[in-house]
Amino acid sequence: MAHNEAVDVVLVGAGIMSATLAVLLKELDPAIKLEVVELMDSGAAESSNPWNNAGTGHAGLCELNYTPQAADGTVDIKKAVHINTQFEVSKQFWTYLTKKVTFGSSKTFISPVPHLSFVQGDAGVSFLKERFKVMSKHHAFADMEYTEDKATMAEWMPLMMPGRPADEVVAATRVINGTDVNFGALTNQLLKHLTSAPDAQVKYCKRVTGLKRNNGGWTVSIKDVNSGNTREVDAKFVFLGAGGAALPLLQASGIEESKGFGGFPISGQWLRCDNPEVVKHHQAKVYSQAAVGSPPMSVPHLDTRVVDGKKSLLFGPYAGFTTKFLKHGSFMDLPLSVRAGNIGPMLAVAKNNMDLTKYLVSEVMQSMEQRLDSLRRFYPQAKAEDWRLEVAGQRVQIIKKDPKKGGVLQFGTELVAAKDGSLAALLGASPGASVTVSIMLELIEKCFPNKTSGEWAAKLAEIFPAREKVLETDAALYRKINVQNNIALELVEASSETESYA
């Protein structure tokens, strides 16, 4: 066994998270030596692949679960505002990169697609109306439109209105400036740009199999999946960007902060339509409400997807249960992740979430006809022959110790970092790829605090003229940054009005 190459940073996994962090670090310190290690033979082969996620550029424009309604009818928009400004931070990074010849065009990964919310029934309509009233007062959602008029809805969603009962109570909101993002294309563009610089490598068909502390850093064991040979690499910093498989690697690190975490894998499926005669009548991402008692990732949506220049429609997701942590993982992933430190929280979650278990079982048992029935609540005249079932990516939800309940299931993401800042892992799945840049900035601030307040500060300010907090409150600055990003990413055409901001 060969021993021991040395780099500054090892990043495990070639998905959107590692690709973003690697490029950010290289921008901040061009002399940094880093290696991305990926077990598949290409980048974005798991959740970041365009057909494994919905490609929604989450900006809080249409996702009704980001704006909960309290018992007194008030709607809380804090989460939607935060995700919106996080997405503007992602767009700032992509805007910065489009000025580099080695990065390429934004047209390959981001496309303008309006974001709509659609509700049925009196309760849904009164919620959407209240939500619109509050949201449209905030500068991030000032362009939102609301309608209860069916003719207007037929213009906004031509596939979705024909075939509905005349007396059906429905309403919708629309924001024209939504996006569809091909996170796979973006990941691969980032990796290509990364490796155009010296001392930055991406190694495919290599599995990280172990992590050991060494003096001031980590020794990472890397196995070639074809030859079976193992090499060891010393790194000062390790990022576990292994998607669903980050949990077992975090456990292998043995860091104190990893104790008590468990994972609950949820699989997904979509209905996909490539028939151009159907696809051309829907140019939107339309999100509705999840059934009462079902988890947030089950919110149904009918989406325009733009992948490799071709448009398709996706409907779903339909959730399911599996014990795999990755789509290409092993059924032993879940049982092997059980430890003395997390068995308590895992059993507590199993006991307290029987509704979720029942929901997942019912989703798994659905026939194609039942799946089409769900689609027809969106698109009443959908024909079975235009749709096929596809398997989506895995989401491994976080199970965490809880002093009162023993353990809780968490649907967001969690950055777990060693106290000395030498290792970090990203657990969880939502809202995911859209807010990668904010999550990786948080990681950099947590693990490299001296550098972010010191030698990296000026570069960070150059790449990110405005961060989340200020964008949430400064309407004029928000509008300026938003317009600049939209022009640079070719999401809008520059007009004289927009140019004055750019």
Among 50, 217, 243, 265, binds ligand FAD (CB under 6 A): 243
**Least separation in angstroms between CB 245 and ligand FAD:** 4
C-beta of 37 vs 286, nearer to ligand FAD: 37
445-448 contacts, C-beta under 8 A, 24 or more apart: 446/415, 446/417, 446/421, 447/237, 447/417, 447/421, 447/422, 448/421
91 is an interface residue for ligand FAD by CB under 6 A = no
3-state helix, strand, coil in the chain (%, to 5): 40, 25, 35
170 versus 234: smaller Cβ distance to ligand FAD: 234
**What are the angstrom distances between the C-alpha of 402 and each of 63, 337, 406, 412, 417?**
28, 19, 5, 16, 19
- Nearest distance in Å: CB 395, ligand FAD: 4
Q: 7, 9, 11, 17: which one contacts ligand FAD (CB under 6 A)? A: 17
Please identify which residue in 39, 116, 171, 489 interacts with ligand FAD, judged by CB under 6 A: 39
Among 117, 326, 123, 367, smallest CA distance to 241 is for: 326
Transcribe 274-340 into DSSP letters. --HHHHTT--SEEE-PPPTT--GGG--EEEEEEETTEEEEEEEEEEEE-S-SSTTS-TTHHHHT--T
The reply on whether position 15 binds ligand FAD by CB under 6 A is yes
113 binds ligand FAD (CB under 6 A): no
Task: Show the 3-state SS of 458-470.
Answer: HHHHHHCCCCHHH
Q: Does 233 bind ligand FAD (CB under 6 A)?
A: no
| Residue among 14 and 175 whose Cβ is closer to ligand FAD | 14
Q: Which of 23, 25, 27, 48 binds ligand FAD (CB under 6 A)?
A: 48
Q: Is 320 in the site for ligand FAD (CB under 6 A)?
A: no
Tell me whether residue 207 is exposed, middle or buried, using C-beta atoms within 10 angstroms of its C-beta: 0 to 12, 13 to 18, 19 or more. Answer: middle
Q: Which of 434, 438, 482, 484 binds ligand FAD (CB under 6 A)?
A: 434
Q: Which residues contact 226 (CB under 8 A, 6 or more apart)?
A: 205
In this complex, which beta carbon is closest to ligand FAD, that of residue 82 or of residue 171? 82
The one segment of 32-40, 120-128, 142-150, 367-375 that binds ligand FAD by CB under 6 A: 32-40
The minimum distance between CB 67 and ligand FAD, in angstroms, equals 17
Residue selected from 128, 200, 238, 245 as contacting ligand FAD according to rule CB under 6 A = 245
Residue 226 or 496: the one with the smaller Cβ distance to ligand FAD is: 226
Closest contact distance (angstroms) between CB of 363 and ligand FAD is 13
| Using rule CB under 6 A, residue 185 touches ligand FAD | no
Q: At closest approach, how far in Å is the CB of 37 from ligand FAD?
A: 5
CB of 174 to ligand FAD, least distance (A): 18
Site string for ligand FAD, 51-80 (x = CB under 6 A): -xxxxx-x----------------------
Q: Measuring CA to CA, which residue among 276, 298, 302, 277 is closest to residue 289?
A: 298
3-state secondary structure of 352: helix
Q: Applying CB under 6 A, does 443 fall inside the site for ligand FAD? A: no
Q: Which residue's C-beta sits nearest to ligand FAD?
A: 15
DSSP string over 241-287: --GGGHHHHHHHHT-GGGTT-EEEEEEEEEEEE--HHHHTT--SEEE
Q: Applying CB under 6 A, which of residues 9, 157, 208, 349 lies at the interface with ligand FAD? A: 208
Give the residue with the Cβ less far from ligand FAD, 171 or 427.
Answer: 427
**51/132 with CB nearer ligand FAD:** 51
Residues 376-395, mask of contacts with ligand FAD (x by CB under 6 A): ----------------xxxx
Please, which residue, 47 or 304, has the CB nearer to ligand FAD? Answer: 47
Place of tokens 């172990």: 210
Burial class from Cβ neighbours inside 10 Å (0-12, 13-18, 19+) for residue 276 reads exposed
Contact flag: residue 188 with ligand FAD (CB under 6 A): no
Any contact of residue 45 with ligand FAD (CB under 6 A)?
Answer: yes
Q: Are strands 285-287 and 115-120 parallel, antiparallel or unpaired?
A: parallel
Number of helices (H), then strands (E), in the chain: 17, 20
* 263 contributes a contact to ligand FAD by CB under 6 A: no
Q: Distance between alpha carbon 7 and the CA centroid of its chain, in Å? A: 29
Nearest CA among 165, 171, 161 for reference residue 378: 161
**Pick 204 or 501: Cβ nearer ligand FAD:** 204
Mark the segment that binds ligand FAD (CB under 6 A) among 165-173, 255-263, 343-351, 431-439: 431-439
Q: Is 438 an interacting residue with respect to ligand FAD (CB under 6 A)?
A: no
Asked if residue 88 binds ligand FAD (CB under 6 A), the reply is: no
Cβ(181)–Cβ(110) below 8 Å: yes
Scan for tokens 């805007």, then name that residue.
95
C-alpha torsion sign, points 191, 3, 230, 221: negative
8 A C-beta contact, residue 183 and residue 50: yes
Q: Which of 435, 331, 347, 447 is nearest to 399 (CA)?
A: 347
Local structure of 435: helix, strand or coil? helix
Binding residues for ligand FAD, total number by CB under 6 A:
43
Query: Applying CB under 6 A, does 89 fall inside the site for ligand FAD?
Result: no
Give the distance, in angstroms, between the CA of residue 55 and the centroid of all CA atoms in the same chain: 8
Q: Which two tokens stand for residue 444?
A: 């950099």
Which residues of the shown chain bind ligand FAD in the complex (CB under 6 A)? 12-18, 37-40, 44-48, 52-56, 58, 183, 207-208, 241-243, 245, 249, 268, 317, 326, 392-395, 426, 429, 431-434
